[in-house]
Amino acid sequence: MGFDRKEYEFLDAIGLTSSNLGCFVNGTWKGNGPVVSSINPANNQKIAEVSEASIQDYEEGMQACSEAAKIWMQVPAPKRGEIVRQIGDALRAKLQQLGRLVSLEMGKILPEGIGEVQEIIDMCDFAVGLSRQLNGSVIPSERPNHMMLEMWNPLGIVGVITAFNFPCAVLGEIYALYYSSTGWNACIALVCGNCVVWKGAPTTPLVTIAMTKLVAGVLEKNNLPGAIFTAFCGGAEIGEAIAKDTRIPLVSFTGSSKVGLKVQQTVSERFGKCLLELSGNNAIIVMDDADIQLAVRSVLFAAVGTAGQRCTTCRRLLLHESIYQRVLDQLLDVYKQVKIGDPLEKGTLLGPLHTSQSRMNYEKGIETIKSQGGKILTGGAIIELDGNFVEPTIVEISPDADVVKEELFAPVLFVMKFQTLKEAIEINNSVPQGLSSSIFTRNPEVIFKWIGPQGSDCGIVNVNIPTNGAEIGGAFGGEKATGGGREAGSDSWKQYMRRSTCTINYGNELPLAQGINFG
């Protein structure tokens, strides 16, 4: 079936039509659940329809996935890496179309949409190398003719529940979450020998379908079971099923701290494991010796990029009192130059919020800010267009205001001043969340204080760069109410595997540990 609008015709090239089945189970497409519409947030018009998964579809998919896991975990890790390499090549071939789809359906500007897909491709490359480095340790034994070693084996199935703002990047991890997860999760989970069960965000079903079709094509070409990668478009019912399912040892969830806590409690009740990427409330500190031009450029990208809908968005700007007004004046000036509009148009820097509900939350947030003494310096209003557009906003407010402790998922930046580094670090650490943070300074003493034990309490601690735009080579994640999970690089892969400590006696005697003599 054709699309209603000519500008959507590029979707044909990535396997999408005006009516799509949203459930990939046991190598086939189906969808016996509700029919929903994918909405373009730039005009609130329908892009296409999707038939979501039913609970019966879910159960059929899980049964097939459980059988496929027995096959996939026995494939040698470097061979699994080769499959992920081919997935990366498939993504490269459709980079522009997928990036355009992300921009169309989520609302982020086109360069960011393409960048998100590129991030998954980078994760595929990383995972290919990782497939030859899933190393254990050889440990000296205190007993003669004994050897101790660590073995890392697949968990079996990894469940991935992602959010709208990075609908395919978080999947990279699986190939490795609400925030940035699918790409990260899938690549890593696959090379570690796990099958993947992915529930994409309900408001970006076309991204879920297009990504899954590319992965499914690679599996089919290599005569592998399609159930190795199982995907569902659906709502809370499917997410709850994943959280409760004892066949899924690890659930990776990206979303709000409130929902993440419920997921963790549900999974923990069955003694499963959780990998959580939750809310962020990220601060940039600008010291009195900072490169102000560099800081202002960084704050603009960190606060306005993705319309403030990244988990790593800068939400708090802490300025040393001696340079407070100078930085603020420059920032207000560049805010006036931000082009707002269609995210697919060249030159646009600020697209729409993802849903009309997001725009309502922005309006409510502004009213709350005003009621708690916040002074709107620029922005603070919705833009009367067909889409979900709002003004990028800067607010002068006390760090003690309750609203500052919350994550308002919109382009709203809280600005406050400080006198000492100690005070700035205390403000940075005063919120429940602990994802990303950054400081701008040229002083080595300040830098090493900032990244040390009495510095930032976040999982990402930057210097002279924005809070957002993380590279894939490092572990991504945060502390406190951000959930404690780690995705992407470094040794994050260990969360996707089961560790066994093995002691082997290759002699004829039975010496006991700790020198025990038993009979």
Kindly list the catalytic residues.
277
3-state secondary structure of 103: helix
Distance between CA atoms of residues 395 and 317, nearest Å? 10
Contact 200, 231 (CB under 8 A): yes
What residues pair up with 20 in beta bridges, in sequence order?
50
Instruction: Give, as one character, the DSSP assignment of residue 8.
Output: G
Distance between CA atoms of residues 227 and 293, nearest Å? 51
Residue written as token pair 């204080």? 449
Decide the pairing of beta strands 460-463 and 436-440: parallel
122 class by beta-carbon count within 10 Å (0-12 exposed, 13-18 middle, 19+ buried):
buried
Contact 124, 85 (CB under 8 A): yes
3-state secondary structure of 241: helix
DSSP state string for 497-511:
EEEEEEEEE-SS--P
The residue type of 90 is: A
Contact 423, 414 (CB under 8 A): no
How many other CB atoms are found less than 10 A from the CB of residue 449?
A: 18
- 514 Cβ contact partners less than 8 Å away, ≥ 6 residues apart: none
3-state secondary structure of 90: helix
Dihedral sign, CA of 317, 322, 323, 329?
positive
Our CA angle for 369, 372, 378, nearest 5°, is: 35
Contact 223, 60 (CB under 8 A): no
Dihedral sign, CA of 411, 412, 418, 420?
negative
The order of strands in the sheet holding 45-51 is: 19-21, 45-51, 35-40
